[in-house]
Structure 1
Amino acid sequence: MGRGNSKVMPEEAKTGYASVVRSLVAFTRARGVKDEAEKKRKSFWFGGNGEKRQGKERRPSKSQDIGDKGQRVKAKTYKDKFDPRVTARYDIKALIGRGSFSRVVRAAHRGTRRPYAIKMMEVEFPEGREVCAAELTALRRVSHPNVVRMVEVFQFPHRVYMVLELATGGALLDRVVSKGRFMERDAAKAIKMVLAAISYLHGLGITHRDLKPENLLYYHPGANSKLLVTDFGLATLRDVESERLVGSDGASVDTSRSLRSACGTPEFMAPEVVQRRPFSSAVDLWALGVIAFVVLSGSAPFEDESRAKLSRAIVRGKYSFSGDPWPRVSDPAKDFIARLLLVDPRARLTADQALQHPWVASGAPASSSAAAAADLYRPISRNLRRRASRDSSRGPSRSSGSGPGRRVSSMATGLM
């Protein structure tokens, strides 16, 4: 979505299948050097630019030098755009992400030197105000280990600056391909953290509406890092007591539009969203089912370069556990996905019920079955490569379609 009548919401995320494959290539080249893969990864919204290299550094090539200069110029350009009241408290370091209405920079608090991410949002136009209001409404209410934390906010007539905790561990799929070994227990651990966040959010009446791997970021590169749910630009908030949808100013919002509009990332949209039927927080559980499918296989249950065909596939809810690595995936894992990818939202597991599912609750221990003990890394990485190759072959036209990092606005009309 852009200014005027544009119908595409924030730009395509920088961490999609293509960036996952770049991480995979980086890992392959640096196999045996554990930290190298971490340095290669980049996150779209809150990811860091990597740690300083230790030991002797190679002299950068001419192209690298030009790139570094360009990055410094960009950082300075966006630093100059920041309000002096923000730069008085924070030292702007580098630009690390961008969207249609926002720019994200890495910054350091001038007093404590602690690192943060600052999201500068343009709110001059209605679409930008809508996205900003949704994110502020949600983040002002939340405090959970698996939800990105907002530290403070600077609000001005045309811009809003959100200071957020900085996550440097990379996006979910980046972590999958950088490990070099990936089993069901790794997937179950990640899904359990996301479910903990969803359960908490739904308890507050918050529906995220744009859950996808790119919006799930690790706090740090370590093996025991927590996973954070980020990007609440499409979130809705329902007052649990009065059952009314509320805006950031506490005023009621027209639910006929907010709870019927088609918005989100097409491949992760629930059937009721695609059909513009009234929907509930169950849409987040459908999205989680798609995420679990992708994490365990490297492919999506519903995908097609035609948005119309993709929509029909989602509405039918037909998918299959065929092809590699599904024969190596356990039945409990497949059952977990099947209980989320149900066309009838009333039949889906709730977040609390999903947390109690045996596959999640047990952490998919490797000893439970031969399938759960299988290393899924090779088939997952191969499927991700194939997906990236298909997307690249489609060329520029793909950008107007249903790519995994593409969101459509509540005014989108191309899904039916």
Structure 2
Amino acid sequence: LLHSISTPFSHMLRALHQNQSSYFINRFLASYRIPTVISGDSPLMGNHCLSSPSPQSTKTHSATLLDRLFAKTRLDHNALAQTVPPPVGGEMPLGDCTVLKDRAAMRMDSRLVCKYEVLSVIGKGSFSQVVRVQHRMTKKFFAVKLVAADCGSINNELQILSRVRHQFVIRLEEVFKSSTRLFIVMEMASGGEMYERVVAKGRYSESEAKDATRMLLSGLQYLHSIRITHRDLKPENLLYADPSPNSRLLITDFGLAHQCTMPLETMTETCGTPEYIAPELLLRVPYTDKVDMWAVGVISYILLSGIMPFDDDCRSRLYTHIITANYVYYPQFWSGSELAKQFVDCLLNTNSMERLSASEAINHQWLTGREDRRSTRTRPASEYSQLPRTRSTRSIRSVTRSDHGHKVDPREVDQMSSDLKRIAQSTKHYGVF
């Protein structure tokens, strides 16, 4: 059959060099000495290329040609992806440089490219890049995160994500590994970050805030039930599945997450983002998954006001505000009801034993409409007058990522912990112990 290939069919195969996933076609052509032309922009540059670049290569719709080839030879994409030997190093450059401007700096695993069509770069970080891909058979879109294979924190994240399946937690599909990189295929979240929506809106309506909080708590209730604590919840780590107003909310970024092996097990590592960190971490005492619930309180406050409850350029003052729960419901910013205030107060409780759990919070009257006597704690006006007033009221719109996107420095917290404990001991907020 191979020796009976007609000249027109040979020409058709030659045209397939433009396809990003056509590595296996070039191997086929090379094996049977069918002449081919590889353009300078081809993703297949390497020791399997047979001739010099052509300045006027024909631009053919190679996806259609691939489909015809698969129909003629009855090949399956997934089966083919498993049998194609990777090039040296296991990686190949990204395909269409008109879409991927930095193609030369990024290399994709050939097995991944056979299974997914690479579309565009959607994000870059100091240690990773994210590209948008489409599954060739199902046509579903996914996000692929490219990170160094020796990145320690990503291994922890993958172990956590491989164990979770919930509608409000980002889904890990599969992972490809080369000698130098990991290619992590994730559920596509095209709706952007919660942070971006709050910045665009200024603040959420109470109805919008309730919907977002319910989804967040549902995901947390599941995670805590399997003893996983996120430890870095914030609007930047909450993504919407699609751009619609009623989109699902997805909990993402499990780089700092921890899974306990025993019930009631505590943690001691200092980690997180300063503005969202719970008092018990600052006071360097063992803590539980209630640290996530403190962060939910901070996020709920942000959604309903558009400002940060704890915000100060001076780190020591910021931490003092946190351990004394120094936050105020400013009338000019706050859009929530009295029940919403009660809900936030029950979460921003410096005593972690009294702080609501995820299961309790999701059943709070603010979210359900049912009265819950355990969830009616509110701060009396007299309490506000006892708190220091040197605090910032910047909106989240004016607080850039660089201002509050960095992580907590454990050494800095250790240096401050003695002073913070003295402050906590001198107030009724010492109940955190």
Place the TM-score, normalised by the shorter chain, in its bin: 0.5 to 0.7
Measured in 1, the distance between the counterparts of 2:395 and 2:326 equals 22
Q: Does 1:77 find its partner at 2:85?
A: no
| Residue of structure 2 aligned with 1:237, choices 245, 248, 259 | 259
Measured in 1, the distance between the counterparts of 2:412 and 2:115 equals 39
Measured in 1, the distance between the counterparts of 2:109 and 2:312 equals 44
| Residue of structure 2 aligned with 1:264, choices 252, 269, 272 | 272
| Residue of structure 2 aligned with 1:214, choices 236, 239, 251 | 236
In the alignment, is the contact (CA less than 8 A) between 1:298 and 1:384 conserved in 2? no
What is the CA distance between 1:72 and its match in structure 2?
3.2
SS state at 2:186 partner: strand
Matching of residues 173-322 of structure 1 within 5 Å: 173-176=195-198, 178=200, 182-240=204-262, 259-322=267-330
Measured in 2, the distance between the counterparts of 1:408 and 1:385 equals 20
Measured in 1, the distance between the counterparts of 2:407 and 2:313 equals 15
Q: Which residue of 2 aligns with 1:149?
A: 171
| Residue of structure 2 aligned with 1:329, choices 336, 339, 346 | 336
Measured in 2, the distance between the counterparts of 1:137 and 1:339 equals 32
Q: Which residue of 1 aligns with 2:136?
A: 110
* 1:276 to 1:154, Cα distance in 2 relative to 1, 3 A: farther
SS state at 2:269 partner: coil
Q: Quick one: higher RCO (CA 8 Å, sep 6+), 1 or 2?
A: 1
Name the Cα RMSD after superposition.
2.8
Deviations 1:168-187 (A, max 9, x none): 11222433455699421110
Measured in 2, the distance between the counterparts of 1:409 and 1:226 equals 33
Gaps of 5+ in 2: 1-96, 372-391, 417-433
Q: Which residue of 2 aligns with 1:353?
A: 360
Measured in 1, the distance between the counterparts of 2:281 and 2:191 equals 31
Gaps of 5+ in 1: 1-68, 245-254, 365-382, 393-397
* 1:384 to 1:173, Cα distance in 2 relative to 1, 3 A: farther
Q: Which residue of 2 aligns with 1:406?
A: 406
In the alignment, is the contact (CA less than 8 A) between 1:189 and 1:363 conserved in 2? no
Measured in 2, the distance between the counterparts of 1:413 and 1:231 equals 23
Measured in 2, the distance between the counterparts of 1:363 and 1:197 equals 21
Structure 1 vs Structure 2: percent identity of aligned residues?
40
Deviations 1:331-356 (A, max 9, x none): 10000000000111111000000011
Deviations 1:321-376 (A, max 9, x none): 124133x5211000000000011111100000001101012399xxxxxxxxxxxx
* 1:168 to 1:322, Cα distance in 2 relative to 1, 3 A: same
Query: 2:114 is matched by which residue type in structure 1?
Result: A
Measured in 2, the distance between the counterparts of 1:95 and 1:408 equals 29
SS state at 2:132 partner: strand
